[in-house]
Amino acid sequence: MFRRNPRNQCLPECWLFTDEKRGGDPCAAIRRLPRGSGVIFRHYADPRREPLARRCARIARQKGHVFLVAGDEKLARRVGADGTHMPGFARMARPFTAAAHNRTELIRAERAGARLVFLSPVFATQSHPDGRAMGRTGFGRLARTAKVRVAALGGVTPHRYRSLKQWGAAGWGAISALS
């Protein structure tokens, strides 16, 4: 059983995506987030993934954040996470959030039951240096057809998020802008 049921609570607007290659110390970044933010713990290749996830989950609880583990429901349960995040490469039953890079993945995330889908990359980003950014208009086209709330990811900053609200953004996520 997950620590609490985030499906019954308000969704944070601001989400930190942890990253072992970029972003520095995830524990420090979680402490700096505004109270009530969201954290998506990735660190897929970290050999100390579980102990690090436990520390991050504890700090997130102390700060009132929603804490999700990406791609691993068993780990999410072991560390007392609020739920899971379905990366674009994974298939999961009932993720709380999911990633999508196009219409097909957006539909897959909706069908899986995600409450919030992160569309990316909206802008040029270090995470996908060769990826084609969809821009505000492309984001808006996909967000407005979605049957689920959509958040912006990829090169998003607080200022850019404010400009994306008119295009249907219900939140935003970042690595560098929040690390």
Domain membership flag for residue 7: no
Average pLDDT over residues 80-108: 89
pLDDT in tens, 131-155: 789 999 999 999 999 999 999 999 9
Domain membership flag for residue 4: no
pTM over 0.85: yes
Q: What is the mean pLDDT of the chain?
A: 91
- For the chain, how many structural domains are there in total? 1
Answer positive or negative: Cα dihedral of 8, 10, 11, 16. Answer: negative
The residue ranking higher by pLDDT, 47 or 88, is 47
**CA-wise closest residue to 101 among 82, 88, 83, 84:** 88
Compute φ and ψ for 97, nearest 5 degrees: -130, 165
How far is the C-alpha of 162 from the C-alpha of 145, rounded, in Å?
A: 20
Which residue shows structure tokens 């007392």?
80
Domain membership flag for residue 65: yes
pLDDT in tens, 34-80: 999 999 999 999 999 999 999 999 999 999 999 999 999 999 999 99
- State the DSSP string of the chain: --SS-GGGSPPPSEEEEP-SSSSS-HHHHHHHSPTT-EEEE--TT-TTHHHHHHHHHHHHHHHT-EEEEES-HHHHHHTT-SEEEE-TT---SS-SEEEESSHHHHHHHHHHT-SEEEE--SS--SSSTTSPP-HHHHHHHHHHH-SSEEEEESS--HHHHHHHGGGTEEEEEESGGG-
pLDDT band at residue 89 under the 50/70/90 scheme: low
CATH number for the domain that contains residue 21: 3.20.20.70
Percent of the chain with pLDDT over 90: 80
Residues 6+ apart with CB under 8 A from 93: 73, 112, 113
Domain span at 104 = 12-178
How far is the C-alpha of 74 from the C-alpha of 123, rounded, in Å?
A: 33
pLDDT recorded at residue 1: 43
Domain membership flag for residue 3: no
Domain membership flag for residue 79: yes
